[in-house]
Amino acid sequence: MDFTKSYKSQCDAACLHCQVPLEQKQGAGRVKKYCTPQHGKAYRQRARALGLDV
């Protein structure tokens, strides 16, 4: 891990639902995990259906 760069710029996230690469917005806020809030919802719904604690 390179501590001279922000954590977010090193987070090569893709939407957990559809695997689309995401660009992290720098600055305050949470790390983006889904391309749309709908996908976040869909992912959590599916994970819960599989018995995961999300």
For Zn ion, the binding residues (CB under 5 A) are: 15, 17-18, 35, 39
Buried b (16+ CB within 10 A) or exposed e, 7-43: eeeeeebebbbeeeebebeeeeeeebbbbeeebbeeb
Cβ-based nearer residue to Zn ion, 8 or 22: 22
Name the residue with the smallest CB distance to Zn ion: 15
The smaller minimum CB distance to Zn ion, of residues 17 and 24, is found at 17
Q: Least distance from C-beta 45 to Zn ion, angstroms? A: 13
Structure token pair of residue 51 = 């018995």
